Amino acid sequence: MNEIIFVTHNKGKIAAANEQMKDVNFKVFEYDLEEPRSDDVKYISEYKVKEAYKLVNKPCVSMDSGFWIDAINGFPRAFVNFSLETIGIDGILKLMEGKQNRNCKFTECFSYYDGKELRQFMGKHPGKLSEKVLGNDTKQKWSDLWYIFIPEGSEKTLAQMTDEERKNRKRINSINSMEEFAKWYKNNQ
């Protein structure tokens, strides 16, 4: 199987890739790719994977995620990092004070590019927001949103779950873009 390069600096994404893409021959190239300003995770992921290809000149994968909160018109959308750097999870919880609708979701796009062909795999993970910050730090953490995101079908935030609970949780209406890519890649290489 051909080697592909996962260009990211996010330790949580690297840990997830090691777990979810066991059948894919990939290496990590730690680099902080520039992100265009957009609330379209598919566009951002495509941009990043093509930039990654220019860096390493080998087949690459890249991933971008967004976070949508129903009660505040989808905020922060694909501007997760900016939102966390400015208002943080405490600011997000402040915006949610008094809101009954706590529904939210992660969306993600995992992109593959080999210099000619672009393939994109969409994922989604519905859930709800906790009322307060809950849980512990973990090496699987992608962002601080793990302290306030409760996956659909669970009563715990991702940060409250053990590694085993996260791995074996019942995924209701959830699609994992890395797993979708790994299936496609295994069948097409």
Residues classed as catalytic: 64
Which of 161, 45, 171, 164 is closest to 109 using CA atoms?
Answer: 45
Q: Distance between CA atoms of 107 and 92, rounded to whole angstroms?
A: 18
HEC readout, 15-58:
HHHHHHCCCCCEEEECCCCCCCCCCCHHHHHHHHHHHHHHHHCC
Tokens of 134: 């809950």
Strand pairing report for 103-113 and 60-69? antiparallel
Closest CA to 47 of 78, 17, 69, 73: 78
Listed as own residue / partner, the contacts of 14-19 with beta carbons closer than 8 Å and 24 or more positions apart are 15/139, 15/140, 16/140, 16/142, 16/178, 17/178, 19/167
